[in-house]
Amino acid sequence: MSKTTLGLIAAGSAAAGASITALIFSSRSSTPITTPASTIPAPAPLTSGFPAPQPVLTPVPQPLPSTTLPLAPVNPPGVLKYGLTPAISDTSITPSHLAAYNRMTRNPHWVAEHFTPQSLSLNNASRRNSVFYEDAAIPPMFRAKLSDYFRSGYDRGHQVPAADAKWSQDAMDSTFVLSNMCPQVGDGFNRDYWAHFEDFCRNLTKSYPSVRVVTGPLYLPKQYPDGKWRVSYEVIGNPPNVAVPTHFYKVIYGEESLHNPTCKVALGAFVLPNTEIPNSKSLRDFEVPLEAVERASGLIFADKLPIERRKKLCSDINCEIMVREFDRVKQQRTALNAGQIAPAQIAQESRRW
């Protein structure tokens, strides 16, 4: 089985992996599609004094003059006089990120962030001073609400992490807006593998002086026992209106220079299922072609970046997450000594790790 086929298969999520194989892992043909030329044959050369047979040309019907067209008895655009607002992606610019919001799913379409070694070295903010809040720029009927997440069983999952915006309290606070959130599985994903992945992105500043990341949700189909493919996802809230993504993607741009507009850029694309993922899983298993994310998201990435300036991220650096299990064990032991958790709970957590 090819690497691209294996790309998103996480432990315990075989169906999700199969869906990705069918939906986004098929590569576009590299053979250009051409339009056939005219089928009218060219005249044959003259032979032995006999003229070559000439092709029979079929007359091409000409359109009737506009004066002879019948007057249309209907006027579909007439409905616009009553008002018909098309689907809107509410775009927002905050101190920490640029984003587009999906009113139907109550999740972001995408969020884009930028960080550098300097921005990450600053420590002028604390999560303890930040609170989750609703996005007042989104109309109330389309807005994700704090109550939608209450007892939902899902985390309010940052798409732009708070840890990427420690350079100011305002920047960190802006990451807590609900339009930057998606429902994410907590244990084993948002608080574990996904957090390690976010840390991997920050560590890229050791190799690149400028890093940009676009993150967003996906809603991918899976194959059912009857052989058909269907998109199925949970919806939370009261009334149920916030979609729970089946997967998440990150597209990473590692820029070799912060100021040179013609520098090379290392590109990497990853798709992870919204489910518990063992920390032993290789990040390379979730690497996908950039085209795969484009097919699944409907977005086009880096189309203005010339091919000669592109590099493959995972050919340039080691695409593996670093899991600090000893930190988790130390935290659990501290909680045990404080009487906050029972020894059996530590044993259970250790088996899960």
Task: Give the mean pLDDT of the chain.
Answer: 83
- Reported as a single tens digit per residue, the pLDDT across 92-151 is 999 999 999 999 999 999 999 999 999 999 999 999 999 999 999 999 999 999 999 999
- What torsion do the CA atoms of 156, 203, 189, 129 make, to the nearest 10 degrees? -30
- Reported as a single tens digit per residue, the pLDDT across 205-229 is 999 999 999 999 999 999 999 999 9
Name the range with the highest mean pLDDT among 85-94, 308-317, 337-346: 308-317
Residue type present at position 87: A
Q: pLDDT: is 10 or 304 the higher one?
A: 304
**pLDDT of 324:** 73
Contact 160, 97 (CB under 8 A): yes
Residues 6+ apart with CB under 8 A from 80: none
Q: Minimal CA–CA distance to 246: which of 286, 274, 224, 272?
A: 274
How far apart (Å, rounded) are the C-alpha atoms in residues 312 and 30?
A: 19
Which of 10-19, 178-187, 299-308, 314-323 is the least confident region?
A: 10-19
- Reported as a single tens digit per residue, the pLDDT across 270-316 is 999 999 999 999 999 999 999 999 999 999 999 999 999 999 999 99
Q: Is the pLDDT of residue 264 over 90?
A: yes
The two counts, helices (H) then strands (E), for the chain are 10, 13
**pLDDT of 59:** 65
- Return the bridge partners of 266, or none: 254, 311
Percent of the chain predicted with pLDDT > 70: 72
Contacts of 268-271 with C-beta under 8 Å, sequence gap 24+, read: 268/312, 268/313, 268/314, 268/319, 269/293, 269/301, 270/197, 271/7, 271/8, 271/20, 271/24, 271/218, 271/247, 271/296
Which of 51-60, 95-104, 200-209, 340-349 is the least confident region?
A: 340-349
According to the annotation, is 190 in a ligand binding site?
A: yes
**pLDDT of 61:** 67
Q: Minimal CA–CA distance to 329: which of 343, 344, 345, 350?
A: 350
- Confidence band for 44, pLDDT divided at 50, 70 and 90: very low
- Confidence band for 88, pLDDT divided at 50, 70 and 90: confident
Which of 83-97, 148-162, 334-348 is the least confident region?
A: 334-348
Percent of the chain predicted with pLDDT > 90: 69
Backbone angles phi, psi at 310, to 5 degrees: -95, 145
Contact 24, 288 (CB under 8 A): yes
Cα first-last separation, the chain: 28
Pairing mode of beta strands 310-312, 265-273: parallel
Pairing mode of beta strands 210-218, 107-115: antiparallel
Q: Is the pLDDT of residue 325 over 70?
A: no
**pLDDT of 12:** 40
Give me the catalytic one of 97, 109, 114, 158.
158
How far apart (Å, rounded) are the C-alpha atoms in residues 30 and 8?
A: 23
Full DSSP string of 127-148? GGG---B--TTS-GGG---HHH
> Encoding tokens for residue 139?
């109309």
- Confidence band for 60, pLDDT divided at 50, 70 and 90: low
**pLDDT of 343:** 54
Q: Is the pLDDT of residue 346 over 50?
A: no
The answer to whether the Cα torsion of 8, 12, 14, 20 is positive or negative is: negative
How far apart (Å, rounded) are the C-alpha atoms in residues 300 and 306?
A: 14
Q: Decide if 259 is catalytic.
A: no
Backbone angles phi, psi at 272, to 5 degrees: -120, 140
> Encoding tokens for residue 62?
């000409």
Q: How many CB atoms lie within 10 A of CB 236?
A: 19
Contact 138, 101 (CB under 8 A): yes
Mean pLDDT value of segment 32-60:
47
